[in-house]
C-alpha cells in the first residue's frame, strides 16, 4: 500500500473517517468497476508489460486511490501506469458491467501532470501549439505535402536518415494520400444527387483534412450520392479529441465549444464524422464540457446528432455503387469506433456492397495498432509491440489492401507495412466507397488496376 499523502490527506477525512474524493473524478463511475479481471485478456499493455498496474483493473484501483488522496497524482509510478494506457477502450467491450473506463481515464489524466519531457513536448507543440490554430495547421499541412511532392520520403528511406530524424519513420513511410502542396477546400454545400433524403454537416477536421483531404472529398461524394445535402462549416475546427485523450482538458473544452458554434444554426439531421477518434470524442461532449453548465446541455444535444460515416449511411440505406473493385480487403477496426462508439458491422456492410470486393477477416482486427492518439509519439517502444502484432496478422490474412476508419490507424499501419517490405496500401473505408462511386483521386496502383 502507498503511504498516506501527509497531513493534507488527514484534513480530507470526514467525521466517519472516510476520505472525500478529489474534485474532477466521478467516483460513481470509478466504483462501477468491481475488479473482476475479465478485461485483462483484452488489454494490450497488460499483454506487453505483464503488470497488474498496467491492466484496466489495476488502473481503476490506482485512480480510486489517487482520488481519495492515498496516492499523489504526480507520483511517478502513478503517472507511468496512467500514461502507459492506450485508452483503446477494449476493456469496455469486454466488461459485463458497462464500466466507462475511457471517461474515467480522461478525468484522471486531466489531473495528472505529463509523465516526462517527451510528453510535455508533444503537448506543447502538437496539442496546444498546432491543432487548435487553423492558420498554423494549414502551414504545417502545406509543408508536409510539399515534402512529399519533393520526394523527401524516398530520400529518407535511401539514406536511412529516417532512423535519426524526429518523426522520421512517419515522414519516410507516408500512407496513400494528398501530395499536391495546394488543395482547394471542400465547398460550403455539396448538393444531394437525386431525391434529397437528409441535410448533414461534415466535420473535415484538423489532421484529417490536411493529410487526407481526398478522403473528406470522397466522403462528401458518397453522402451526396445517397441523397444528402452536405454542409461544411466555414470555420475549420479541431474537435479536441487528441487533447481530450491526452488529458489536456482545458484545450479540449475550448475546442469542443468551438465545434458546437461551427455547426450551430445549420438545421442538420446529423453531423457526420469519418475519423473514429473524433466521432467518439464528439459523442461524449457532455464529458468534455462538464465544467460549463450552459455548454454542457448543448453538448448533450449535439452529441446525439453525431454519426460515423459508415453508421449514418447504413442507417440511411446505402445506394449501392456500380464500379467494381476486384480486391481482397481486410478491415482494421479502429479502437474508438468499435469500442468507443460500438460501431462494428457497418463498415463491413459498406465494403460488402462494393462490386467485386472480397472482404476477409484478420485475426484480432479489433486490437489496437499502437497509434492511440499521440501514444506512438510519447511511448514509441510499447507502440511498436502493438504494431508488430498487427502487421503479422495482416500478412497472415493474405489481404491485398487494408481498410480502416481513422487517420491515426492508417498512418501507423501504413508505416509498419512499408517498413516490413510489404506493398499493401492502407486506405479509409470511405476512400473505397468514393472510388466505387467514380472518384479516382489518389487511388493506389493496385486499386486502379482492380477498377480497370
**pLDDT (tens digit, 9 = 90+) per residue, 16-32?**
444 556 678 999 999 99
Q: Measured in whole angstroms, how far is the alpha carbon of residue 13 from the centre of its chain?
A: 40
DSSP string, 75-128: -HHHHHHHHT-----HHHHH-TT---HHHHHHHHHHHS--SSHHHHHHIIIIIT
* CA–CA distances in Å: residue 307 to residues 189, 192, 281, 314: 19, 18, 11, 11
Whether the pLDDT of residue 7 is over 70: the answer is no
pLDDT tens digits for 125-136?
A: 999 999 999 999
Q: What is the average per-residue pLDDT within 313-324?
A: 96
pLDDT-derived band at 69 (thresholds 50, 70, 90) equals very high
Cβ-contact 383, 409 below 8 angstroms? no
Provide the pLDDT for residue 439. Answer: 93
Tell me the HSE value of 229 on the side-chain side, using a 13 A CA sphere. Answer: 11
Say whether pLDDT at 233 is over 60.
yes
pLDDT value at 11 more than 60: no
Grid coordinates 493506389 are at which residue?
444
Cell 475519423 belongs to residue: 275
Provide the pLDDT for residue 9.
Answer: 40
Beta strands in 206-324 (DSSP E): 228-231, 270-273, 306-308
- Sign of the C-alpha dihedral, residues 294, 26, 248, 406? negative
Q: Is the pLDDT of residue 14 over 60?
A: no
Across all residues in the chain, what is the average pLDDT? 92
Instruction: For residue 321, name the pLDDT band (cuts at 50, 70, 90).
Output: very high
pLDDT of residue 2: 42
Burial zone of 82 (CB within 10 Å; 0-12 exposed, 13-18 middle, 19+ buried)? buried
Q: What percent of the chain has pLDDT over 90?
A: 87
pLDDT classification of 6: cutoffs 50, 70, 90: very low
Confidence of residue 166 (pLDDT cuts 50, 70, 90): confident
Name the DSSP class of 204.
-
Cβ atoms of residues 114 and 123 within 8 Å: yes
pLDDT, position 19: 55
Please say if the pLDDT value at position 1 is more than 60: no
pLDDT grade for 306, boundaries at 50, 70 and 90: very high
Q: What is the pLDDT of residues 238-285, one digit of tens each?
A: 999 999 999 999 999 999 999 999 999 899 999 999 999 999 999 999
With CA atoms as reference, report the closest residue to 356 among 279, 436, 428: 436
Q: How many CB atoms lie within 10 A of CB 156?
A: 20
Binning pLDDT at 50, 70 and 90, where does residue 292 land?
confident
83-126 tens-digit pLDDT: 999 999 999 999 999 999 999 999 999 999 998 999 999 999 99
Hey, what's the cell of 143?
Answer: 509543408
370: nearest Cα among 358, 378, 362: 378
* HSE-up (13 A, CA, CB side) for residue 72: 10
User: Domains along the chain?
Assistant: 6-113 (1.10.1060.10), 120-172 (no CATH), 189-314 (3.40.50), 321-451 (3.40.50.10700)
Q: Give the separation between CA 283 and CA 247, rounded to whole angstroms.
A: 17
Where does the pLDDT of residue 167 fall: very low under 50, low under 70, confident under 90, or very high at 90 and above?
confident
Amino acid at each position: 500500500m502507498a503511504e498516506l499523502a501527509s497531513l493534507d490527506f488527514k484534513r480530507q477525512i470526514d467525521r466517519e473517517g472516510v476520505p472525500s474524493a478529489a474534485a474532477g473524478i466521478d467516483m460513481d463511475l470509478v466504483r462501477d468497476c468491481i475488479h473482476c479481471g475479465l478485461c485483462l485478456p483484452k488489454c494490450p499493455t497488460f499483454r506487453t508489460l505483464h503488470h497488474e498496474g498496467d491492466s484496466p483493473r489495476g488502473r481503476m484501483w490506482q485512480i480510486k486511490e489517487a482520488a481519495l488522496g492515498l496516492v499523489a497524482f504526480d507520483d511517478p509510478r502513478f503517472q507511468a501506469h496512467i500514461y502507459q494506457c492506450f485508452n483503446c477502450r477494449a476493456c469496455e467491450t469486454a466488461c459485463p458491467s458497462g464500466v466507462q473506463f475511457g471517461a474515467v481515464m480522461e478525468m484522471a489524466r486531466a489531473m495528472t501532470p505529463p509523465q516526462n519531457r517527451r510528453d510535455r513536448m508533444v503537448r506543447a507543440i502538437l496539442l496546444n501549439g498546432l491543432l487548435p490554430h487553423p492558420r498554423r495547421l494549414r502551414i504545417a499541412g502545406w509543408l508536409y505535402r510539399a515534402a512529399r511532392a519533393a520526394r523527401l520520403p524516398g530520400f529518407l528511406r535511401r539514406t536511412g536518415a529516417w532512423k535519426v530524424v524526429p518523426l522520421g519513420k512517419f515522414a519516410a513511410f507516408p500512407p496513400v494520400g494528398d501530395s499536391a502542396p495546394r488543395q482547394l477546400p471542400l465547398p460550403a454545400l455539396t448538393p444531394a444527387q437525386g431525391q434529397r433524403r437528409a441535410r448533414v454537416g461534415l466535420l473535415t477536421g484538423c489532421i484529417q483534412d490536411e493529410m487526407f483531404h481526398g478522403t473528406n472529398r470522397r466522403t462528401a461524394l458518397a453522402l451526396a450520392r445517397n441523397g444528402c445535402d452536405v454542409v461544411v462549416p466555414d470555420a475549420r475546427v479541431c474537435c479536441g479529441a487528441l487533447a481530450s485523450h491526452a488529458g489536456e482538458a482545458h484545450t479540449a473544452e475550448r475546442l469542443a465549444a468551438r465545434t458546437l458554434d461551427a455547426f450551430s444554426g445549420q438545421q442538420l439531421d446529423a453531423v457526420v464524422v469519418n475519423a473514429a477518434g473524433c466521432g467518439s470524442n464528439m459523442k461524449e461532449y457532455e464529458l468534455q464540457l462538464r465544467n460549463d453548465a450552459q455548454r454542457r446541455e448543448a453538448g448533450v444535444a449535439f452529441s446525439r446528432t453525431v454519426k460515423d460515416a459508415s453508421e449514418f449511411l447504413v442507417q440511411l440505406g446505402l445506394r449501392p455503387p456500380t464500379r467494381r473493385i476486384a480486391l481482397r480487403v481486410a478491415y482494421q477496426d479502429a479502437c474508438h469506433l468499435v469500442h468507443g462508439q460500438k460501431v462494428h458491422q457497418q463498415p463491413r456492410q459498406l465494403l460488402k456492397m462494393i462490386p467485386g470486393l472480397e472482404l476477409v477477416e484478420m485475426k484480432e482486427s479489433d486490437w489496437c495498432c499502437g497509434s492511440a492518439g499521440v501514444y506512438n509519439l510519447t511511448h514509441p517502444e510499447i507502440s511498436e509491440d502493438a504494431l508488430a502484432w498487427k502487421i503479422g496478422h495482416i500478412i497472415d490474412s493474405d489481404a491485398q489492401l487494408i481498410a480502416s476508419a481513422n487517420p491515426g490507424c492508417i498512418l501507423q499501419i501504413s508505416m509498419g507495412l512499408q517498413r516490413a517490405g510489404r506493398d499493401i496500401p492502407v486506405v479509409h473505408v470511405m476512400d473505397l466507397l468514393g472510388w466505387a462511386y467514380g472518384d479516382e483521386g489518389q487511388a493506389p496502383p493496385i486499386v486502379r488496376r482492380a477498377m480497370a
